[in-house]
Chains A and B, each alone.
Chain A
């Protein structure tokens, strides 16, 4: 267990770009080949290399089936790559751990636990005392805007609320890296925008490293420091684009910002090209 006090300073760390950024996650020539039922090997990821700096918000963007989820699962330690390696702070990733917190598109909440029970689960598992875990969890639930729903069961929540719980549940055990797999993909446009704003607020306060999978270009540009464009069949990194937009970002200002618009248009064009490329022969 890591020391807790060290972390509290992260909450108040000023947003500075001068800090020397250290690499927290390294993806080193990772390939993933799946045996399919057609008895043909399917190359989901081909020779992916990527470094992610500590405290960065990195989006992985690409067409459906290009291996975004697979890449995230490898960093999470849920899937081991066919070849190559992923490292966290220089240590090879061999399995899941509380230093990397996943937020799945399917929510994957524990349906037999209430909202509070779900959020408390991680801290309790880490040995935090019940009273303390509860207090922290209640604060987190309030932060994601679910005050008053502590005793609801997941089935009694809407999709957007479930997604908030999933985020709070993962934040509750203080992972150093958040791994988010299209967390807002299933939501309506309005809820999606709200959650994006909330996530940005949380992140700007907390500055965790975030690896964020999406196939929405605006979402990627709006949230990220860096957008990793992938292409399909086989899954490859096509381009890494630094998003040089000021923070804190406000949606209403950003949408009018020509720089933002240019990023979106450029990346969208690239996206179309990589989609048209189709399966390699």
Chain B
């Protein structure tokens, strides 16, 4: 919080010193925020962006966690998917957009798909690593209690790998926001990224900076909320010397 205020202060001073048309002061930019959020069309655009982001993120997580866990515990599944992912991994997902646009148009499907791709890889990777690291004796203990292989995957590998999986999801969440904006910059038709770039084209620099603040604030909020949820879910793994439940 303090860091944000400090950043805004530096910005304000810098903009006053530079006195550049394309560099509004922080106060001007902040003043533009209510205008954007008050405008019905902009709001609908931003909400549509968020909906795509949520959908892409959720579907990606739901697909990637089981896939990553299976890869981590089955050599044949890993051997099948690993080469595939290795090819996709270093390719910027936005670079795939022109092809996807060609096939699926510039609508929601394309943008959601790109978000999905962006989120999938870190989640798969972390789930994979987490599942691989699960202690074998833990699985053996489960097997001795009568858990079937599928039950072991869901009831032992999943919880044991959860800290690692959630680390992947956290990276994925930030990537979802990034790919959301990028996708809207490429397929300009609607969304938060579109508002940003339209304003840039029209020279409304305060709107540009206001949008940057809005998107940045969303990112910080999502991450903070996710981090809270994560910390709750994996409290059992967090290194600490206090007694349980003794921190809030």
Interface residues on B, range: 20 to 34
Q: Is the CB of B143 within 8 A of A95?
A: yes
The one of A113, A121, A156 that contacts B243, using a Cβ cutoff of 8 Å: A156
Report if A126-B146 is in contact (Cβ < 8 Å); known contacts: A110-B156, A112-B162, A153-B244: yes
Instruction: Give the Cβ gap from B243 to chain A, nearest Cβ, in Å.
Output: 7
Contact A97 B141 (CB under 8 A): no
Given contacts A110-B156, A112-B237, contact A156 B244 (CB under 8 A): yes
Which of A100-108, A221-229, A230-238, A252-260 forms part of the interface with chain B?
A100-108
Judge whether A155 and B144 touch: CB under 8 Å: no
Provide 12 A-B residue pairs closer than 8 Å at the C-beta atoms, listed in order of the A residue.
Answer: A96-B140, A96-B144, A101-B144, A102-B141, A102-B144, A106-B137, A108-B137, A108-B140, A112-B159, A152-B244, A154-B236, A173-B145
Say yes or no: A175-B144 contact (C-beta < 8 A), given A111-B160, A112-B160, A156-B244.
yes
Number of chain A interface residues as a range: 20 to 34
Q: Contact at B144–A98, with CB atoms within 8 Å?
A: yes
Q: Does B147 contact A (CB under 8 A)?
A: yes
Interface presence of A55 (CB below 8 A): no
B residues 234-248 near A (Cβ < 8 Å) are 234, 236-237, 239, 243-244
B contact set with A: CB distance below 8 Å: 135, 137-138, 140-141, 143-147, 156, 159-160, 162, 234, 236-237, 239, 243-244
Which chain B positions have C-beta within 8 A of A121? 145
Whether A108 contacts B138 by the Cβ 8 Å rule is yes
Contact A98-B145, Cβ < 8 Å, known A111-B237, A151-B244, A155-B236 = yes
Partner of A122, one of B138, B145, B156, B244: B145
* Cβ contact of A97, chosen from B146, B160, B236, cutoff 8 A: B146
In the complex, the answer to whether B135 meets A106 with C-beta atoms within 8 Å is yes
Q: Are A78 and B143 in contact (CB under 8 A)?
A: yes
Bound-state CA distance A169–B138 (Å) is 12
Give A97 to B143 CA distance when docked, in angstroms: 7
**Chain A residues within CB distance 8 Å of chain B:** 76, 78, 95-98, 100-102, 104, 106, 108-113, 121-122, 125-126, 151-156, 169-170, 173, 175
User: A96 to B137, alpha carbons, bound, how many Å?
Assistant: 12
Please, how many angstroms separate the alpha-carbon atoms of A95 and B138 in the complex? 15
A104 touches B236 (CB 8 A): no
Q: For the complex formed, measure the closest distance between the CB of A154 and the CB atoms of chain B, giving whole angstroms.
A: 8
Tell me if A98 and B146 are in contact (CB < 8 A). Answer: yes
Q: How distant is A114 from chain B, measured CB to nearest CB, in Å?
A: 8
With A111-B237, A153-B236, A155-B236 as contacts: A104 and B146 at CB distance below 8 Å: no
* Residue ID in chain A nearest B140 by CB atoms: A78
Q: Are A108 and B141 in contact (CB under 8 A)?
A: yes
A69 to chain B, nearest CB (A): 10
| Residue of A110, A154, A170 with most partner-chain B CB within 10 A | A110
